[in-house]
Each structure stands twice: as C-alpha cells, then as structure tokens.
Amino acid sequence: MAESRRGACTRATPRQGLTVLVGKTADRFTSSRDILLIAILKVGLIGYGYAGATFHAPVIEHCGCATLTAIATSQAGRAQADWPRAAIVPGVDALVARDDVDCVVIATPNDTHFALARRALEAGKHVVVDKPVALNAGDARTLADLACERGLVFAPFHNRRWDGDFMTVRALLESGRLGRVTHFESHFDRFRPTVAQRWREQAARGGGLLFDLGPHLIDQALALFGVPLTVSATVKALRDRASAADYMHLQLGYADKQVILHASALAALEPPRLLVHGTRGSYVKTGLDVQEGQLKAGLRPGDTHFGCNPPGLLREVDVDHDMHEPFATRDGAYADYYRLLAASILDGTPFPVTAQEGVDVMTVIDLALQSDREGRRLQFQQLL
C-alpha cells in the first residue's frame, strides 16, 4: 500500500511545445552524461540568503538546462549584481504571477516554507522547497496532495543524494561487496561553540540541527534502506544560550540492521562522515563532500575539479583474502538535481526525489521530537 502511494504522483504533465530528450531512464543514478536537453527550465527563486545564493542560483545557472528568470528577495542589490539577467521582483505574488516562470524554488527561513509552497502550487507552478519542506509531516502531506491534485512537481531539495560519498556508498551497497549491511552510521558534525545571531539558530523559526541537517541525514538513510520500523532520538540544545537543537542522535530500527544519524555543533574533532559495517567488510569515509565549500569559494559545476572528492577506506574479508585499501569516491553532482528536475517538468520523466519521500522525512523528524520528549522508541507509521 505504501509503495502505491509513493509512486502515484511523481510524473508531471509535460509543458506543451517543449521537448526533452533523455538518453537513459532518469533513475537515482542518472548522470549528466545521460541527459540531453533541448529545452530550458525557467526558474523563479524566492530568497537570496545563504541557501539561495550558494546552493540554488549558481547550480541552476550552470546545470545546462535551466535559467534563473526571476528572484524575489529583500537583498535586491546583491541578487541583481550576481545575476544581472534575472528580473528582481518585489515579492512572492509578483514572482508566481510571471508567465516566464515554470518552477518556483523556495530558499527562505524554514517557518515560511509551507505558506510559500502552497501559494506557488495554487498559482500553478512546480515547486522545489529547500529542506525541510515544512515543519511537520501533516503540512508536508498537505503540500504533496495539492501538487498531486494539480499535476505539479513538488520536490524536496534533498540535493545531498548527489554528494559523492553518498553515491559511492549506494553503489558499494548495491554491489554486495560488504555482504549484508548490519550497521550504518552517518554524521554531520561541526565545531561552532558560539550561537550565531541568525534565524537558523532560533527554535521559533524552525532552526536547529534536526531541521537543518537532519533532513539530509534522514533522506539519505531512507533512500538506502527504505522507511524504518522504529525511531528513537535524543535532540538537545547543549551550547550556552542556545534555544534551538545543536545536538541530534537518531536511531532508525530495521529488522536486520541499526542506522545511526548524528549531528553536533560541538565536535572539534570530526568522527567519520560515513561508516558502514557488513558481513564481508567495512567502509569508512571522513570529511564532507566538497561541493558546498567549492560553491562558497566561487567554483561552479563544470569547472575543473568541481565535485572531486578524496577517497575513503574499504576493507573486504572472506576465506580467500583480506583487502584493506583506499576506495575512490565518486564526483559530487549537485547539478544533476536540476537536470533531472528539468527532465521531469518539461518531459514528464519521474523525478527521483518524490513528494512522499519529503513527507517520510518529516514523519521521522516528528517522531524524533516525540521520542526525545517521552524518552522511548516509537513505531514508524507512514503518513499517506
């Protein structure tokens, strides 16, 4: 029953008069080399803070199949200087009213996501929402249903499925080289002991690590293993004067494995980013994917060495051999998110990040907060 709903509303109605040629089925592994687009997706961006300026605008403009048509932001001068060909509009209503906007990307504070996404969907626009898609699973379900009713794409911005380390782990697990996976551990740890004066640090705005980094960690785990049987969590604000959670430790329970998802703002020495143990070996990767740092430094998709990640370590053990050596990490490919989005909106190819998956992530977050309050492990029930 869950699978029928999960795949029910992943295909958009193609735009008339536009053609997209896709060399291979646009599944989770499709790369830029597989896609040939002869139409351009016209994107309107709401918000030009860190997420809009770093993750969205440059990737949209350099993915090869989309263009930034309009930007609604309070930072008009900065946005216009960076993207002089884009129209700077006074607000959300002006942006969603434009005929030259196919898709609206929402990169605003977390507590505004639901209202802005609903406004854009009601205006007939396809929508990408930076994580989290809403502040609870019920609101995420409302948006997913609205998009489904109107034949629109509603896509969570789970761009870290295109982190090089995650793509490497996914391929490694599918190869079977580690045997049956029994333990998976994923960390986003940083050392930021001082609480900054920004909305991301304010609990009332949907700030904190559970809503900021948690959606990426949860989405990656669910993409690998499906929805869990149980959720158990500790979610705390540990720094001096912190109001929003700066520590999260989630355990997702499956029948044959344990999955640990962890993020902390007080980790001066980083643990491995990814750790996987199986019945035939283990894999370890340290350090974050390089794309965020490169985008902040001004590099763009297509630049030399963009997305090139250092290797991890792999140990394979069986009766015939014991191999322990560096294991190459795939290149990160954030641009493929927007390439596949264009193929979905312009030609109806199913987009690999579904609205239901956005709802599932928020369901885990809801359960994590409840688990921390009640101090117990909770059963996962998919909100369909």
- Which is nearest to 31 in space by CA: 293, 331, 299? 331
Instruction: Of 327, 240, 270, 52, give the one whose Cα is nearest residue 60.
Output: 52
| Residues 48, 338: Cα–Cα separation, whole Å | 18
Helix (H) or strand (E) holding 189: strand 181-189
Q: What 3-state DSSP class applies to 191?
A: strand
Report in angstroms the alpha-carbon separations of 303 from 22, 49, 180, 333. Answer: 23, 23, 38, 12
Delimiting residues of CATH 3.30.360.10 domain(s) in the chain:
161-334+365-379
- Contact of 200 with 210, CB cutoff 8 Å: no
Distance of CA 217 to CAs 10, 154, 193, 317, 362, Å? 22, 20, 22, 28, 12
- pLDDT band of residue 25 (cuts 50, 70, 90) is very low
pLDDT at 17 over 50: no
The CATH fold assigned to 2-160+338-348 is Rossmann fold (3.40.50)
Residue 23: per-residue pLDDT: 35
Q: Give the model confidence (pLDDT) of 295-314 as tens digits.
A: 999 999 999 999 999 999 99
Mean pLDDT of the chain: 91
CA neighbor of 265 nearest in space, from 292, 288, 239, 293: 239
**341 or 14, which is more confident:** 341
CATH 3.40.50.720 domain span(s) along the chain: 2-160+338-348
Contact status, residue 377 vs residue 253, Cβ threshold 8 Å = yes
Instruction: Read off the amino acid at residue 63.
Output: C
* pLDDT(172) > 50: yes
Which band of pLDDT confidence, cut at 50, 70 and 90, is reported for residue 188? very high
Helix and strand totals (H; E) in the chain? 13, 17
pLDDT score for 271:
92
Residue 77 has pLDDT above 50, yes or no: yes
pLDDT of residue 32: 47
Pick the CATH number of 161-334+365-379 from 3.40.50.410, 3.40.50.170, 3.30.360.10, 2.40.50.140: 3.30.360.10
**pLDDT-derived band at 20, boundaries 50, 70, 90:** very low
For the ranges 28-32, 152-156, 231-235, 366-370, the lowest mean pLDDT is seen at: 28-32
The secondary element (H helix, E strand) that includes residue 283 is strand 281-285
pLDDT at residue 13, rounded to an integer: 55
Please give the structure tokens belonging to residue 291: 């794309």
Judged by phi (left if over 0) then psi (alpha if -120 to 50, else beta), residue 214 lies in alpha
